[in-house]
Amino acid sequence: MIFLHDTIYLDNAATTAVSPAAKEAFCAACECFGNPSSLHDLGFSAERLVADSREAVAASIGAERGELIFTPGGTYADNFAILGAAKRYARRGGHIITSAIEHPAVLETVRSLEKEGFSATYLAPDASGHISAEQVARAVRDDTILVSLMLVNNELGTLQPVKEACRAVKRIRPEILFHTDAVQAYKKIPVNVRTLGVDLLSLSGHKVHAPKGIGALYVKKGVRLLPTVYGGGQEHGLAPGTEPTPLIASLAAAAKAPVEEAKLNELREYALARLAAVCPRAEIVSPGEAGGIFALTVRGLRGETVMHALTQRGIYISTGSACGKGKPSHVFGSLPLERDALAGVMRVSVDAATTTADLDRFAATLAEVIEELRPKKN
């Protein structure tokens, strides 16, 4: 495809460009090609690199090195956490609490457990896309063993009260495990497992400028998970297989980058202001709160149609989670949106490298596209 203008990428919630630091770390680690499990010098060098990387990623979330498991990505981390916890602690009960707006990596995993005899409560968000700590606490039962509540929603940019919900749950029954999918929160807001109080936390590398194929799972000391994949016993037996040293090193490089919260909030608010000024037909569905994410809609037009028109002009946004592959979003569908508003929903997600000039052009181009596409009256 030939673009008419320079590219403006506003789909950072789907994936991010690999940073120079992560790329450099990856390439350097490719020279350290020994197997970290090998008992010779090349293996020891790779093992040290993995250990140093684990230290860096663990430190970035306030964890200890021994509490961090490297995984093939955020989806695997969610699966390992939920399946491993549910099956390990099934003797305590079989009830799981989650929300209706979780990522499919959580929802589909919980649904798979329901087919095995577990039960689940799916909490509905309010009109603004929030789950309350009180909702979570009210859902606790005598047989509840696990709660999974995401920290930042990947389509709305809403910040969920994980710390407050975790405290409320632990006051009722301290033994209930609490998991949070922090994929859209990590490096975008401060994330500290001690402050949050959670037992399990998932993160993903490609959302924070590391390559695809690497993620991590925090497992609080003392928590035991049953493995769901079997092999040589690497990563505490939870994610067995030869460690991908270059990917792990690149995640560590990304982990050392500063948290981008202030810049992302500034850019998100600027984008919302520009849209209000030059594109009044774009209605804000969710202004977002974190992660540089917000959602809008254009009544009378399909979101896919607008998205493709913007793509032709070199501007990239999305109509929801990339994992949905064009299917209607369960997140937007959970909000009280009228049919024409729901059909036109789109997600915008900025990055710290996004400029105000990019957002000026986005808002102006969106206004032009809407004018071109909207039905003309005879």
Residue 323 has pLDDT above 60, yes or no: no
Rounded Cα–Cα distance for residues 189 and 264 (Å) = 9
323 noted as active-site residue: yes
Q: How confident is the model at residue 327 (pLDDT cuts 50, 70, 90)?
A: low
Q: Which of 27, 166, 279, 323 is catalytic?
A: 323
DSSP state letter for 12: T
Residue 244 or 169, more confident: 169
Q: How confident is the model at residue 4 (pLDDT cuts 50, 70, 90)?
A: very low
Rounded Cα–Cα distance for residues 10 and 268 (Å) = 11
pLDDT in tens, 243-270: 899 999 999 999 999 999 999 999 999 9
Residue 338 or 326, more confident: 338
Burial annotation 308-329 (CB, 10 A radius, 16+ → b, else e): ebbeebbbbbbbbbeeeeeeeb
What pLDDT was estimated at residue 1? 29
* CA within 13 Å, CB half, 112: 12
The token pair at 335 is 């909000």
Residue 178, strand partner residues: 147
Rounded Cα–Cα distance for residues 301 and 315 (Å) = 18
Handedness of CA 283, 101, 69, 42 (dihedral sign): negative
> pTM higher than 0.85 for the full model?
yes
Over range 229-255, report the average pLDDT.
88
Over range 44-51, report the average pLDDT.
87
Percent of the chain with pLDDT over 70: 94
What are the helix (H) ranges across the chain?
Answer: 20-30, 41-60, 74-88, 104-114, 133-139, 162-172, 193-196, 245-255, 261-278, 303-312, 330-333, 339-343, 356-373
Rounded Cα–Cα distance for residues 53 and 251 (Å) = 8
What pLDDT was estimated at residue 2? 35
